[in-house]
Amino acid sequence: MTGSAQVTQGRTVPPARSYPFSTADRLNVDPTYAELREKEPMTRVQLPYGEEAWLATRYEDVRTVLGDARFGRAPAVHRDEPRLTPRQQDSGMLIMDPPDHTRLRRLVAKAFTARRVEDLRPRAQEIADGLVDDMVRLGPPADLVEHFATPLPIQVICELLGVPFADRDRFHVWSEAIVSTTSLPPETIQEYLNSLWGYIGALVAERRREPRIDDLLGALVQARDDNQDRLSETELVELAAGLLAAGHETTVTQIPNFVYVLLQNPDQLAALRADPALVPAAVEELLRYVPLGVGSSFARYAKEDVEVGGVLVRAGEPVVGSLSSANRDGTVFPDPDRVDLRREQKPHLGFGHGVHHCVGAQLARMELQVAVGTLVTRLPGLRLAVPEPELEWKRGMLVRGLLAMPVAW
């Protein structure tokens, strides 16, 4: 902890802990979370940038902060938001509250409905099978990140959005700006964001010259041009760029994470190989178990005094919630630190909660099911091609994941 307790508005506020509590180590969850859930579920923290905040660590408290209308994202625009990155987000859907957030989300949500996503499953399966065919033809060892985990989600989001797959090497690099904390210097982050926005802007102009409504980008352009009150030009470009980046970056990262966890739990992997019908349940358990983020959710600001976890959060105070901690809450998930593919299904927070629940959750879920199912059935002997300690993990990013994953089969 830093500093000492302060008396503010008649309350004794505990000193703030430096947060995150430690440097991310593989996919391990810092044991401090378990201690806090037990003894101090709402604690004061100081992130690398921005003002102090409350940190929620219990499942129910995190759900409250993310889902209760008494908390909002929009005030962050005018505040020094607690964050892991030097750059503060000041525009886009992630910084909005209803009704503005609802207006933008409604435009894209229909592209990610369960029915639309299921229509995409055969194509995703075709892509996955083709990638495995290529790996088998080239022979082991192969980098699962490069040859499977990266191209699968990128090709799916490209076809859904209407972005040329041939440009993947460019926009995949630029997308790192979205998830970088210290992996890129601030000037490079801005350069990459400008490149990504410029690239999408050029595609928008192309759609106007040659209108198309059979992809999401074409539909967004039409929505903008038919009724400019629904979507500004800046919102159009930033929304499409965000969908492109977020639509592949986290899934690219999670596929190797899931395979890594399965390889570290051979009994669960054996059960999955013996019964591929377990794949959907396995994906849900892995979404719960894997701590994708290195820190917490974006801050929510209390719009009025709200009691959370036995603490009175005053109006105007920011609260961040740890999804990783919530998903390891033993009062909701018995024996939470164990991977159990047959665990009784309860709603995890792997995709967040509330109005900012991941709009592409259904798409990511389907892609992860296809990826895990394909690897388990097509490559039953899948294993690491190097000793585990030699694996290299991402550093200086908002997400945890492997830089490369050499495998054999």
pLDDT in tens, 83-133: 998 888 878 888 999 999 998 888 888 888 888 899 999 999 999 999 999
Residue 137: inside a domain: yes
Residue indicated by tokens 């980046």? 245
Alpha helices by DSSP H, listed for 210-305, are 216-226, 233-264, 266-274, 279-289
Both tokens assigned to 350:
């792997």
pLDDT of residue 4: 46
Query: CA-CA distance, 137 to 85, in Å (whole number)?
Result: 42
Number of domains in the chain: 1
Residue 10 has pLDDT above 70, yes or no: no
Question: Half-sphere exposure of residue 282, counting CA atoms within 13 Å on the CB side?
Answer: 27
pTM across the whole model: 0.93
Residue 239: inside a domain: yes
Residue 289: inside a domain: yes
| 200-205 LR contacts (CB < 8 Å, sep 24+) | 200/237, 200/240, 200/241, 200/244, 201/237, 203/162, 203/163, 203/240, 204/236, 204/237, 204/240
Residue 6 has pLDDT above 80, yes or no: no
Residue 1: inside a domain: no
pLDDT of residue 203: 95
Range(s) of the domain holding residue 358: 6-408
3-state secondary structure of 320: strand
Q: Which pLDDT tens digit goes with each residue over 329-384?
A: 999 999 999 999 999 989 999 999 999 999 999 999 999 999 999 999 999 999 99
Q: Is the dihedral of CA 324, 329, 332, 338 positive or negative?
A: positive
Residue 68: inside a domain: yes
Residue 400: inside a domain: yes
Residue 207 has pLDDT above 50, yes or no: yes
Q: Is the dihedral of CA 13, 19, 21, 27 positive or negative?
A: positive
Q: Would you say 262 and 300 are in contact if contact means Cβ atoms under 8 Å apart? A: no
Pairing mode, if any, of strands 42-46 and 53-56?
antiparallel
Residue 192: inside a domain: yes
If you average pLDDT over residues 55-68, what whole number do you get? 98
3-state secondary structure of 48: coil
Residue 14 has pLDDT above 60, yes or no: yes
Residue 147's CATH number: 1.10.630.10
Q: Which pLDDT tens digit goes with each residue over 137-162?
A: 999 999 999 999 999 999 999 999 99
Residue 329: inside a domain: yes
